[in-house]
Amino acid sequence: MNLGLHVGDDPQAVIANRERWVDIFHTDLDHTVAGEQVHGSEVAVVGRGEWGRGARRLEDALPDCDGLVTADPGTALISFYADCVPIFLYDPVHGAVGLAHAGWKGTIAGIAQEAVAVMAQAFSSRPQDILAAIGPSIGPCCYEVSEDLGAEFARTFGATVIKGTGKGRPHLDLWKANQENLLRAGVATANIATAGLCTACHPQLWFSYRHAKGPTGRMGALIVAPGRSCHE
């Protein structure tokens, strides 16, 4: 079920898919907020005033934005993936949530750290209280990268984010790199959960740009700020 509006599918079919998807989580598509997703590290604070942005039209998604945070009850943050890393954040003390889209560019730019910092500034969240989850995305088993990019990640995060393949090109562990970003942001090790599921290895379950070797659909990530019912 493709949820991406930018991959050439009939927009009305995609919107219908999105409506079915969010209904599973007992929310409404018009209560969701989406960013443009430009593989950057910008994080926006959103709430009821942004409801519907990017939900039905790609053109009105929050511009230049790959991360969203909110503490406004009933606000649902959404983003879309086909190998990049979804990072979910939840502060149970202040009822704040965050969602970050981390490809290799966003990872090396520290979008996970930025999202935690914005939650701290906007909602007084303490990093040690935040629960983080790294969702299904391309794994080190399948994410072959150039020697130059591998070296850049090794310099930034340490050699453990690169998996040697003998005579082959390096394989990049985006899960470990984003774990390191969360730790650097002050999130406790015990509060970081990683799915460890590779999208490229499981094309029957998830879309994967790398597996498809080109354009493909998008799956979605969603997190809702707790509080009163989204159907009020």
- In this predicted structure, what is the pLDDT of residue 166? 57
Residues 183 and 203 sit within 8 Å (Cβ to Cβ): no
- In this predicted structure, what is the pLDDT of residue 69? 99
- In this predicted structure, what is the pLDDT of residue 228? 42
Domains of the chain by start residue, with CATH: 11-138+191-224 (3.60.140.10)
- In this predicted structure, what is the pLDDT of residue 202? 94
Q: What is the pLDDT of residues 156-189, one digit of tens each?
A: 999 999 987 656 889 999 999 999 999 999 999 9
pTM of the model: 0.94
- In this predicted structure, what is the pLDDT of residue 167? 64
- In this predicted structure, what is the pLDDT of residue 210? 87
Q: What is the pLDDT of residues 38-51, one digit of tens each?
A: 999 999 999 999 99
- In one-letter notation, the amino acid at residue 38 is V
Quote the Cα angle for 110-123-137, to 5°.
35
Q: CB atoms < 10 A from the CB of 105, how many?
A: 14
Quote the Cα angle for 172-176-180, to 5°.
125
- In this predicted structure, what is the pLDDT of residue 168? 81
- In this predicted structure, what is the pLDDT of residue 20? 98
Residues 178 and 190 sit within 8 Å (Cβ to Cβ): no
| Residue 4 burial (C-beta neighbours within 10 Å; 0-12, 13-18, 19+) | buried
> Among 138, 163, 141, which Cα is nearest to 150's?
163
Q: Using CA atoms, how far apart are residues 47 and 222, in angstroms rounded to an integer?
A: 15
Regions of the chain where pLDDT drops below 70: 165-167, 227-232
- In this predicted structure, what is the pLDDT of residue 164? 74
